[in-house]
């Protein structure tokens, strides 16, 4: 990943601050479209509050469905953002420079989107205060600390705080540049946010050390958050859920889906900001290689989940796989999941030509996330539908209802609007990181050829 | 070498004695399985580190690649050992297993799996050594080698090394799945943990890095290779060892927590058998040696930058891996019998007798002996990769200092 063009420093400032300081017409059109979708989701949520949960496809046993699927899916997407950024920083991967921030911003807004879904899922949103406040002070009825309602918000808020801090520390030098190039309210805002950064050697040392330290600290947090989400399910004695592999399987699935999310965001940012000199085919090539490795890890865990579901030949575990493999329409969704998450994208990524094609990478990344959403959906809905089969004689098949579709699309609109707004207000491609990469870039002559090289610190 | 040969011979004699009816209980074979799993997790798991550094074009890995690849010779010990163990398995009919009554399973297919691993490893070593053997032959003035070093030969070699390395890694993970599921999970009633194969593979990669680090340290101190095996290899491998030590904790925690919260009688018996019952001491020692102590040692960048720090952590991990494998396999073989739906009682700890101790010491000694013999045939540092690396590193003036510049041809 050393094929970068040499770019003059003033051009980097101009190119990467252009979208922050000037607003093109398309921005308003896209923002309006996203706000329209968000409004529709808001109306749907309002209907749920006013009319009740009967608007959803839930039933006597199917109490967790699309909203919990969305929660798990978006938590998963948020993971690779931080993982890509933190691991690439710690390993000093040169190619990381233009893409780390869009990965981190994706993590922040995905996590915020994820956080909305458990609230929507409850129906009576206002009653969520009892998740952390006592239901009755006088009688001392406190929420159980063993409840997922305590674990999840604690983990997610910790992760969100850490991720925001991670992004903010990295942003400070760019905020200083934006401060020096802006006027009016933007200047005032950037002045406050830049916290007096002037680029002294001491400030750079602290900023670099803080970035590395946060990279190392955020990684265990990211693993723990999705593991906790997985343990919400695996602690229940339900077939398909009560499995020792669920936490690592969730994490590898999150990385698979999240790296694809990063690719989708990279393509969108590249196109929107016309950052063709910064996010190049080489970046897609390298992240495509990473996707191959992650996909193999995902396949391994998927096969373990499948094999060990049948290993002990317990009837209820076998019933889950029968449902997924032989019962329409669930089996169709299952095959669609396998095809879109692995069978289509993986062979494509093996070819360098396709890895360097922006459109091929975009569509394969979309395909992966369709598959991963379906995987979460089947994982959540199937085992719940088999819960207590002898207790309920009548168990209707779960079918998502229109409000569930609208709110799901609203979640996508929320995350997209968040990223777009961030990119409008703040530089989403890190100026200082790109400039540092330019400084470290060297050419080395070996025999008759000149090859790219980098200064090793 | 004489001491190693004696120990290896004693191990083989002890194994033969166990085969000829000297096994006191099935748990004796648990110790043999532990020796097999240890070698599979340490020596045979070393080459993936070389593969990773080749794939990532990591400059730091140049000096460790051959030292790691040479450990494939341990397959000459593990392959017959697994075949012997497969003959000692209890009746497989209707036993929970990944094979689901597949014909010939598990014996034939497990043997095929480990043989493919051995062959893939030897092919990797042979391919990687071709330029060095050609150079050695030219130095000795011998007949012309089949390998000439043309542009095409070099590109085939570099591509082939990556392909063989990838194949080796895939087969290694598959063999770990076979070994842990057939020699441990299938023997314990009610133990169908899908977490165990990835746990086994990940902890094997951890121990494989530890093996490479210890080998590098030995080659530096006893082989006079300080100039060639640089500190950056220890620093980079130390970072990987740190992250894999964290993963040891993660996978163990995932196993423990799920059973702990499940609390069905079968799960409580499993926890008792594997963690908190007769093998509590081994479990605690494994946690200390695989996670707590390496974590505390490698947490500090200053320590990682030394040779002694990562070497110490590697020694702890190696010992911890052996303790862990004994915990898993002896516990599993101690309850091996006819298939039952779940574990109803946990037997007392099965301590090793003299034959078991000799097998535990003799098999690693045999692998080490083979490694030392292989070192007589091939240089411990890959000459061609070292020379290629030397071409890629230059020093340049930068502001008021001089800095190393690493070239990375695409």
DSSP secondary structure letters along A283-348: HHHHHHHHHHHHHHHHHHHHHHHHHHHHHT--HHHHHHHHHHHHSTTHHHHHHHHHIIIIITHHHH
B401 touches chain A (CB under 8 A): no
User: Searching chain A, which residue's CA lies closest to the CA of residue B195?
Assistant: A245
Instruction: Chain A: give the shortest CA distance to residue B79, in Å.
Output: 24
B250/A457 CB distance under 8 A: no
Residues of chain B numbered 250-269 and touching chain A (CB < 8 Å): 250-251, 254-255, 257-259, 261-262, 264
The number of C-beta contacts closer than 8 angstroms across A and B is 116
Three-point CA angle A130, A67, A61, nearest 5°: 85
**B278: phi then psi, degrees, rounded to nearest 5:** -65, -25
- Return the closest-CA partner of residue A81 out of A8, A12, A170: A170
CA–CA dist A400, A405 (Å, integer): 7
User: Is A18 part of any domain?
Assistant: yes
CB-count burial class (<10 Å; 0-12, 13-18, 19+) for B122: middle
Among the partner residues A223, A244, A453, nearest to B258 by beta-carbon distance: A244
Note whether B201 and B174 are within 8 A (CB).
no
DSSP classification of residue A275: -
Instruction: Chain A: give the shortest CA distance to residue B166, in Å.
Output: 10
pLDDT of residue A354: 95
Could you give the 3-state DSSP secondary structure of residue B189? coil
Q: How many structural domains are present in chain B?
A: 1
Among the partner residues A90, A304, A451, nearest to B407 by beta-carbon distance: A451
A244/B195 CB distance under 8 A: yes
Range of the domain at B209: 2-406
**Antiparallel, parallel or unpaired: β B401-407 and B393-398:** antiparallel
- Return the closest-CA partner of residue B11 out of B319, B356, B351, B323: B356
> Cβ–Cβ contacts within 10 Å for residue B16, how many?
12
B198/A242 CB distance under 8 A: no
Instruction: Chain A: give the shortest CA distance to residue B230, in Å.
Output: 15
B329: left (phi over 0), alpha (psi -120 to 50) or beta: alpha
A3/B98 CB distance under 8 A: no
Helix locations, A235-280, DSSP H: 246-273
Which residues in chain A have Cβ-Cβ distances shorter than 8 Å to B250? 223, 227, 247-248
User: Searching chain A, which residue's CA lies closest to the CA of residue B174?
Assistant: A300
B100 touches chain A (CB under 8 A): yes
Helix locations, B225-307, DSSP H: 231-262, 265-271, 280-287, 293-298, 301-304
pLDDT of residue A445: 85
With b meaning 16 or more CB within 10 Å and e meaning fewer, what string describes B196-221?
Answer: bbbbbbbbbbbbbbbbbbbbbbebbe
A248/B261 CB distance under 8 A: no
B185/A455 CB distance under 8 A: no
Q: How many structural domains are present in chain A?
A: 1
User: Is A450 part of any domain?
Assistant: yes
Range of the domain at A129: 9-454
Q: Which helix (H) or strand (E) is B7 found in, with range? A: helix B2-17
B98 touches chain A (CB under 8 A): yes
Among the partner residues A244, A313, A457, nearest to B193 by beta-carbon distance: A244
Note whether A173 and A432 are within 8 A (CB).
yes
B404/A248 CB distance under 8 A: no
Instruction: Chain B: give the shortest CA distance to residue A448, in Å.
Output: 12
Among the partner residues B96, B198, B408, nearest to A312 by beta-carbon distance: B96
B257/A231 CB distance under 8 A: yes
> What secondary structure does DSSP assign to B90-112, as a single string?
---TT---TTTT-TTTTHHHHHH
Q: Higher pLDDT residue, B179 or A431?
A: B179
**Antiparallel, parallel or unpaired: β B393-398 and A441-446:** unpaired
- HSE (side-chain half, CA atoms, 13 Å) at B24: 12
A220/B246 CB distance under 8 A: yes
B392/A444 CB distance under 8 A: yes
CA–CA dist A413, B27 (Å, integer): 60
Q: Mean pLDDT over residues B172-177, rounded? A: 96
Residue B391 pLDDT exceeds 90: no
Domain CATH for A140: 1.20.1630.10
B408/A244 CB distance under 8 A: no
Instruction: Chain B: give the shortest CA distance to residue A51, in Å.
Output: 37
Could you give the 3-state DSSP secondary structure of residue A61? coil
CA–CA dist B258, B246 (Å, integer): 18
- Return the closest-CA partner of residue A123 out of A45, A229, A70: A45
Note whether A410 and A42 are within 8 A (CB).
yes
CA–CA dist B262, B259 (Å, integer): 5
Which residues in chain A have Cβ-Cβ distances shorter than 8 Å to B238? none
DSSP classification of residue B71: G
- In whole angstroms, how large is the CA radius of gyration of chain A? 23
DSSP β-bridge partners for residue B395: B404
**Antiparallel, parallel or unpaired: β A449-455 and B393-398:** unpaired
What angle do helix axes A358-385 and A330-338 make, rounded to 10 degrees?
150
Q: Mean pLDDT over residues B97-120, rounded? A: 90
pLDDT of residue A241: 87
Q: Higher pLDDT residue, B136 or B209?
A: B209
pLDDT of residue A395: 66
With b meaning 16 or more CB within 10 Å and e meaning fewer, what string describes A226-240?
Answer: bbbbbbbbbbbebbb
For B77-93, the pLDDT digits (tens) are 999 999 999 999 988 88
User: Is A1 part of any domain?
Assistant: no
Which residues in chain B have Cβ-Cβ distances shorter than 8 Å to A245? 193-195, 198, 254
CA–CA dist A27, A50 (Å, integer): 34
User: Searching chain A, which residue's CA lies closest to the CA of residue B101?
Assistant: A311
Strand arrangement, sheet containing A449-455 = A441-446, A449-455, B401-407, B393-398
Among the partner residues A1, A304, A453, nearest to B405 by beta-carbon distance: A453
Among the partner residues B96, B195, B261, nearest to A248 by beta-carbon distance: B195
Give the 3-state secondary structure percentages of chain B, helix then strand then coil, rounded to 5: 75, 5, 25
CA–CA dist B217, B229 (Å, integer): 9
pLDDT of residue B144: 60
B410/A308 CB distance under 8 A: no
DSSP β-bridge partners for residue A77: none
Query: Given the structure tokens 């003959």, which residue do they identify?
Result: B87
CA–CA dist B332, B188 (Å, integer): 6
> Cβ–Cβ contacts within 10 Å for residue A281, how many?
16
B197 touches chain A (CB under 8 A): yes
The residue of A215, A244, A252, A450 whose CB has the most chain B CBs within 10 angstroms, and thus the best one to mutate to test that interface, is A244
CA B264 to chain centre: 34
pLDDT of residue A69: 95
pLDDT of residue A389: 56
Structure pTM?
0.91
A307/B98 CB distance under 8 A: yes
Instruction: Chain B: give the shortest CA distance to residue A45, in Å.
Output: 35
Cis peptide before B209 (omega within 30 of 0): no
DSSP classification of residue B45: T
CA–CA dist A258, A76 (Å, integer): 6
With b meaning 16 or more CB within 10 Å and e meaning fewer, what string describes A262-280?
Answer: bbbbbbbbbebbebeebbb
B404 touches chain A (CB under 8 A): yes
Q: Which helix (H) or strand (E) is A385 found in, with range? A: helix A358-385
- CA distances B197 to B183, B185, B310, B385, Å, are 12, 10, 26, 34
Q: What percent of chain B has pLDDT over 70?
A: 99
Note whether A337 and A375 are within 8 A (CB).
yes
Top mean pLDDT of A179-188, B37-46, B141-150 is at: B37-46
Q: Mean pLDDT over residues B88-109, rounded? A: 86
B394 touches chain A (CB under 8 A): yes
Which residues in chain B have Cβ-Cβ distances shorter than 8 Å to A227? 250, 254
A223/B198 CB distance under 8 A: no
CB-count burial class (<10 Å; 0-12, 13-18, 19+) for B88: middle
Number of separate helices (H) and strands (E) present in chain B: 16, 2
User: Searching chain B, which residue's CA lies closest to the CA of residue A240?
Assistant: B194
B117 touches chain A (CB under 8 A): no
Which residues in chain B have Cβ-Cβ distances shorter than 8 Å to A451? 407-410
pLDDT of residue A388: 59
With b meaning 16 or more CB within 10 Å and e meaning fewer, what string describes A389-424?
Answer: eeeeeebeebebbebbebbbebbbbbbbbbbbebbe
Among the partner residues B173, B177, B407, nearest to A453 by beta-carbon distance: B407
Among the partner residues B258, B264, B410, nearest to A234 by beta-carbon distance: B258
Q: What is the pLDDT along chain A (457 residues), one digit of tens a residue?
A: 445 667 788 888 888 888 888 889 999 999 999 999 999 999 999 999 999 888 998 887 788 889 999 999 999 998 877 888 888 888 888 888 888 898 999 999 999 999 999 899 988 888 888 777 777 777 777 777 777 777 788 888 898 999 999 899 989 999 998 898 888 888 999 999 999 999 899 999 999 899 889 988 888 888 888 898 898 888 888 888 889 999 999 999 999 999 999 999 999 999 988 889 889 998 999 999 999 999 999 999 999 999 888 887 788 888 888 888 998 888 999 999 999 999 999 999 999 999 999 999 999 999 999 999 999 999 988 777 666 555 555 667 788 999 999 999 999 999 999 999 999 988 899 888 888 888 888 888 888 888 888 887 6
CB-count burial class (<10 Å; 0-12, 13-18, 19+) for B145: middle
CA–CA dist B219, B226 (Å, integer): 8
Note whether A380 and A330 are within 8 A (CB).
no
Could you give the 3-state DSSP secondary structure of residue A351? coil
DSSP classification of residue A136: B
* All residues at 6 or more sequence positions from B384 whose CB lies less than 8 Å from its CB, including other chains: B131, B132, B135
């Amino acid at each position: 990943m050393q094929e970068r063009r040499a770019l003059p420093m003033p051009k980097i400032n101009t190119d990467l601050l252009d979208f922050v300081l000037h607003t093109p017409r398309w921005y308003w059109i896209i923002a309006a479209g996203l706000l329209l979708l968000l409004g529709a989701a808001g109306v749907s949520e309002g209907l749920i509050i006013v009319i009740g949960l009967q608007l959803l496809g839930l039933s006597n046993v199917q109490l967790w469905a699309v909203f919990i699927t969305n929660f798990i899916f978006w938590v998963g997407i948020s993971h690779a953002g931080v993982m890509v950024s933190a691991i690439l920083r710690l390993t000093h991967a040169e190619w990381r420079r233009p893409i780390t921030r869009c990965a981190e911003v994706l993590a922040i807004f995905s996590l915020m989107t994820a956080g909305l879904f458990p609230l929507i899922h409850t129906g009576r949103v206002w009653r969520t205060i009892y998740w952390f406040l006592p239901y009755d002070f006088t009688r001392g009825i406190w929420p159980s600390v063993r409840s997922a309602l305590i674990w999840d918000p604690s983990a997610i808020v910790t992760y969100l705080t850490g991720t925001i801090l991670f992004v903010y520390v990295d942003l400070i030098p760019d905020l200083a540049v934006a401060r020096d190039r802006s006027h009016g309210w933007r200047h005032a805002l950037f002045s406050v946010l830049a916290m007096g950064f002037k680029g002294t050697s001491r400030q750079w040392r602290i900023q670099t050390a803080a970035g590395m330290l946060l990279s190392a600290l955020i990684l265990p947090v990211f693993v723990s958050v999705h593991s906790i989400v997985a343990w919400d399910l695996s602690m229940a004695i339900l077939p398909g859920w009560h499995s020792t592999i669920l936490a690592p399987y969730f994490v590898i699935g999150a990385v698979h889906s999240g790296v694809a999310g990063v690719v989708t965001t990279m393509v969108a940012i590249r196109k929107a900001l016309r950052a063709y000199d910064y996010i190049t085919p080489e970046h897609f090539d390298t992240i495509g290689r990473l996707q191959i490795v992650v996909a193999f890890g995902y396949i391994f865990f998927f096969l373990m989940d499948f094999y060990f579901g049948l290993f002990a030949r317990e009837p209820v575990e076998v019933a889950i796989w029968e449902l997924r493999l032989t019962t329409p329409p669930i089996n169709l969704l299952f095959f669609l999941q396998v095809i879109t998450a692995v069978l289509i994208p993986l062979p494509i990524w093996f070819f360098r030509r396709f890895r360097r094609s922006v459109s091929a990478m975009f569509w394969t990344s979309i395909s992966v996330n369709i598959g991963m959403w379906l995987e979460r959906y089947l994982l959540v809905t199937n085992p719940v539908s088999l819960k207590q089969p002898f207790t309920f004689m009548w168990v209707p098949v779960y079918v998502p209802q229109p409000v569930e579709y609208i709110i799901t699309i609203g979640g996508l609109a929320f995350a997209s609007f968040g990223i777009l707004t961030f990119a409008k207000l703040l530089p989403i491609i890190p100026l200082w990181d790109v400039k540092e990469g330019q400084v470290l870039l060297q050419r080395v002559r070996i025999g008759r050829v000149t090859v790219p090289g980098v200064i090793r610190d | 070498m004489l001491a190693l040969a004696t120990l290896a011979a004693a191990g083989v004699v002890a194994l033969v004695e166990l085969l000829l009816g000297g096994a006191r209980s099935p748990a004796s074979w648990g110790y043999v399985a532990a020796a097999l799993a240890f070698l599979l997790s340490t020596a045979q798991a070393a080459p993936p580190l070389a593969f990773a550094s080749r794939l990532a074009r990591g400059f730091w890995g140049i000096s460790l690649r051959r030292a790691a690849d040479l450990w494939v010779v341990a397959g000459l010990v593990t392959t017959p050992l697994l075949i012997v163990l497969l003959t000692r398995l209890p009746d497989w009919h209707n036993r929970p297993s990944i094979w689901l009554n597949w014909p010939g399973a598990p014996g034939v297919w497990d043997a095929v799996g480990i043989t493919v691993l051995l062959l893939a490893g030897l092919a990797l070593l042979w391919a990687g050594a071709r330029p060095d053997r050609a150079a050695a032959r030219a130095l000795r003035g011998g007949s012309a080698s089949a390998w000439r070093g043309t542009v095409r030969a070099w590109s085939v070699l570099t591509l082939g090394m990556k392909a063989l390395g990838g194949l080796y890694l895939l087969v290694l993970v598959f063999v770990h799945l076979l070994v842990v599921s057939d020699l441990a999970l299938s023997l314990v009633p009610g133990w169908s943990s899908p977490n165990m194969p990835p746990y086994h593979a990940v902890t094997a990669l951890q121990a494989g890095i530890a093996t490479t680090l210890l080998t590098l340290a030995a080659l530096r101190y006893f082989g006079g290779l300080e100039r060639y095996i640089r500190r950056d290899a220890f620093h980079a491998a130390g970072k990987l060892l740190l992250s894999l030590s964290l993963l040891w904790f993660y996978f163990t925690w995932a196993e423990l927590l799920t059973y702990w919260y499940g609390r069905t009688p079968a799960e409580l018996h499993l926890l008792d058998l594997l963690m908190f019952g007769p093998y509590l001491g081994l479990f605690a020692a494994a946690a200390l040696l695989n996670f707590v102590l390496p974590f505390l040692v490698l947490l500090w960048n200053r320590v990682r930058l030394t040779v002694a720090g990562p070497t110490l952590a590697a020694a702890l991990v190696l010992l911890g891996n052996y303790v862990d494998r004994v915990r898993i396999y002896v516990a599993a073989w101690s309850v091996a019998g006819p298939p039952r739906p779940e574990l109803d009682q946990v037997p007392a700890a099965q301590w090793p007798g003299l034959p078991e101790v000799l097998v535990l010491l003799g098999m690693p000694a045999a692998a080490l002996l083979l490694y030392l013999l292989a070192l007589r045939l091939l240089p411990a540092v890959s000459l061609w990769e070292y020379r290629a690396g030397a071409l890629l590193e230059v020093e340049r003036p930068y502001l008021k200092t001089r800095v190393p510049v690493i070239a990375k041809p695409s």
